[in-house]
Amino acid sequence: MKTTGQGIRIHAQDLERVRKTCAPYTVPVVRKSERLSAILDQVGLEGSVDVAALAVALGVSGATIRRDLQTLSRNQLLVRTHGGALSNQAGDEKPTRVKAILRQAEKRTIGRAAAAFVEEGAVVGMTGGTTALELSRALAQRRGITVVTNAINIAAELVGHAGVRLVLIGGLARSSYELVGPAAEAMLANYHLDVAFIGVDGLTPEEGCTTYDEMEAQTDLAFLRRARRSVVIADSSKIGRVTFARISRLSDITDIVTDRNAHPDQLESLERAGVRVTIV
């Protein structure tokens, strides 16, 4: 057991648990955005965080952690408590503003790797999501490609780039910035895609690709059905999870791009199901 400068007593096993949870972000973590991401990751995994334990794991002072928690609380990303904070999103879909700062480095790496799947002159379908947004940034300087998307934020990222022909699919707007529903699916039926990239909230061999919203799932499936090659881009936190609405069976997917933090057994089971898995 260890006693901090604030008089808070921490069990050694608690410190070890936090160190493991925050492993991708352990010392040295300098930038505030990285600390906020690490804190939200632990809140998502454990449901709560402790100031003293986080300070040890992230190599900063307790005062710094308390300021970080206050920042996240002001933005309604967690609930402050005495000595720590609690999740306010347990079991539900996280708001896009939360997703945007979770696992940023992994999503950026996945997006850059997925961009290598896009050949010159290709017609690319892209659904929404924070990993897809990183892919769009990787594609922004390409020339001679067409991007068909139902995501307002992805369209905003790509509009005005001379080398990218942009098609925005219309529909009912969700908080994820995606336009979904029958109107979107009807418009998609007019296009042929060389490759479609979709984001997911869950991915398993048994249940395939899943998400939180049924209407979004149907629009995602429409993208897959219009493409010759279908690619799931998902960070490792989505592997092994099942959420409310099925997008497609795994047999509808040709490729998965994910990060190296995914459990090897889970990746092997996906490969045994016949999907090409790219680990970055």
Q: What per-residue confidence (pLDDT) applies to 26?
A: 46
**Are residues 173 and 85 located together in one domain of the fold?**
no
Q: What per-residue confidence (pLDDT) applies to 97?
A: 58
**Are residues 153 and 210 located together in one domain of the fold?**
yes
| Selected residue with higher pLDDT from 53 and 22 | 53
pTM: 0.70
Structure-block tokens of residue 173: 């707007």
Tell me, what amino acid is at 273? A
Q: What per-residue confidence (pLDDT) applies to 226?
A: 98
**Are residues 140 and 236 located together in one domain of the fold?**
yes
**Are residues 56 and 74 located together in one domain of the fold?**
yes
Q: What is the pLDDT of residues 96-122, one digit of tens each?
A: 555 655 678 899 999 999 999 999 999
**Are residues 78 and 198 located together in one domain of the fold?**
no
> Does the pLDDT of residue 33 top 70, yes or no?
yes
Q: What is the pLDDT of residues 148-200, one digit of tens each?
A: 999 999 999 999 999 999 999 999 999 889 999 999 999 999 999 999 999 99
**Are residues 114 and 70 located together in one domain of the fold?**
no
- What is the tally of structural domains in the chain? 2
Q: Which of 33, 58, 90 is the last residue of a domain?
A: 90
Quickly count: other Cβ atoms within 10 Å of residue 6's Cβ. 11
**Are residues 122 and 165 located together in one domain of the fold?**
yes
**Are residues 165 and 225 located together in one domain of the fold?**
yes
DSSP string, 46-106: HSEEEHHHHHHHHTS-HHHHHHHHHHHHHTTSSEEETTEEE-S-TTSPPPHHHHTTSSHHH
Q: Which of 56, 90, 124 is the last residue of a domain?
A: 90
Residue 213: which CATH number? 3.40.50.1360
**Are residues 26 and 51 located together in one domain of the fold?**
yes
Query: What is the rounded average pLDDT of the residues 58-77?
Result: 90
Q: Which of 42, 65, 90 is the last residue of a domain?
A: 90
**Are residues 158 and 183 located together in one domain of the fold?**
yes
Which bin fits 42, alpha (ψ -120 to 50), beta or left (φ > 0)?
alpha
Edge to edge, the sheet with strand 202-204 lists: 202-204, 208-211, 245-248
**Are residues 34 and 133 located together in one domain of the fold?**
no
**Are residues 180 and 124 located together in one domain of the fold?**
yes
Q: What per-residue confidence (pLDDT) applies to 27?
A: 45
Q: What per-residue confidence (pLDDT) applies to 7?
A: 38
Q: What is the pLDDT of residues 239-270, one digit of tens each?
A: 999 999 999 999 999 999 999 999 999 999 99
Omega before residue 24 within 30° of 0, cis: no
Q: What per-residue confidence (pLDDT) applies to 4?
A: 40
The residue range of the domain holding 57 is 2-90
